[in-house]
Amino acid sequence: MKAAVVDRRGGIPAYRDVPDPEPGEGEVVVTVEAVAVENVDRAIVAGTHYTAAAFQEALPAIPCFDGVGRLSDGTLVGFGGLQPPRGALAERVAVPAVATSPIPEGIEPPVACALATAITGMSMRTAGGLRAGETVLIQGATGVAGRLAVQIARLLGAGRIVATGRDDGALAELVALGADEVITTAVDDDALVEAYRAHAGDGYDVVVDYLWGRPTQLLTQALTPDSFALPEPTRLVHVGEAAGPTIELSGDAVRTSGLEIYGAARNLATGMAAAYGQVVEWVRGGELRIDVTTMPLSRIREAWQRTDLRGSRLVIVPG
């Protein structure tokens, strides 16, 4: 069969022949229909992600570790559970049967494999406790996950949605998706702190943070009052670190900003099923639009190097 194989750290996957997967005990063979390529997959191949060691030690290896495919009886399933060197960018994979779950009817495979990204948007409620009418700030809203989060904030009944990004054209698109106000982070530090304050209104109740790094550090400064105050809480849900892996957090900010920081996985153990079901319902009903760009596995080399897909998820399909 064909697969996309990486030979060295930071290499570009090559389309070539590999042996067919041989299922071990408890495993099933899945014919792959769609695999999303995310930042985390590129970072694992580049060796820069904290989980990259297993992939690097297994080289040559196939990237991406989950996707959507069909069992031998035709059932469409999501699959995971792959360990390097075995990855999802292949015509077929052998995975633990317990790591497969049926995809609900009415969801096309390329969209189905991007549902997990939409679930990160649900963290504004599962982890951040968003209530209807509250103000949400979405950091990194021009990306794939952020655009979904803007739509989800609207669907969850947020009162006001403030969205950040770096590109004016992309920020204008966010208004069409449901953002009430936008902030560009492509300004100097003082101007960005001022912008966060100017758009805060009565305060940000929930922040969905795909950025971390400089913009989120400046946000913590913006939330910190200049004189003693008892601010309302701002529940920041940390999802991604597109702008940097660390921030400097001052004692002042901890004491007086009202900032509460939660990981996106908070409450997911109990809230995942409901969040997933809600996202599926919105997608089926056309209320939530997941933008995907499909390319065939045979063109993985070209697909992997694309940099023009801002806001659209790259999904590799058979062919």
Ligand X SMILES: NC(=O)c1ccc[n+]([C@@H]2O[C@H](COP(=O)([O-])OP(=O)(O)OC[C@H]3O[C@@H](n4cnc5c(N)ncnc54)[C@H](OP(=O)(O)O)[C@@H]3O)[C@@H](O)[C@H]2O)c1
CB burial of 40-79 (b: ≥16 within 10 Å; e: otherwise) equals ebbebbeeeeeebeebbeebebbbbbbbbbbbeeeebbbb
DSSP notation for 251-289: HHHHHHS-EEEEETTTTHHHHHHHHHHHHHHHHHTTSS-
Write the interaction track for ligand X spanning residues 110-129; mark x where CB under 6 A is met and - where it is not: -------x--x---------
Residues 6+ apart with CB under 8 A from 16: 2, 3, 5
Residue among 28, 31, 39, 271 that touches ligand X (CB under 6 A): 39
Nearer to ligand X, 135 or 217 (CB): 217
> Pairing mode, if any, of strands 135-139 and 160-165?
parallel
State which of residues 84, 87, 109, 165 lies at the interface with ligand X (CB under 6 A): 165
- Contact status: 240 vs ligand X (CB under 6 A): yes
Q: Cα–Cα distance between 228 and 146 in angstroms, integer?
A: 34
Q: How far is the CB of 39 from ligand X (least distance, A)?
A: 4
The H or E element that residue 148 is part of is helix 144-155
Q: Is 38 near ligand X (CB under 6 A)?
A: yes
Which of 215, 247, 256, 295 is close enough to bind ligand X by CB under 6 A? 215
Cβ closer to ligand X: 57 or 167? 167
Q: How far is the CB of 72 from ligand X (least distance, A)?
A: 30
Tokens linked to 124: 């504004």
**Residue in this structure with the two tokens 């209530």, named with its chain if needed:** 131
Is 142 among the residues that bind ligand X (CB under 6 A)? yes
194 binds ligand X, rule: CB under 6 A = no
**Contact letters (x/-) for ligand X, 289-318, by CB under 6 A?**
---------------------x--------
* Rounded-to-10 torsion of CA 70, 71, 76, 79: -90
Stretch that binds ligand X, among 4-12, 20-28, 162-170, 192-200 (CB under 6 A): 162-170
Residue with Cβ nearer ligand X (168 or 287): 168
| Residue 128 main-chain phi, psi, to 5 deg | -95, -10
Binding mask 248-277 for ligand X (x = CB under 6 A): ----------------x-------------
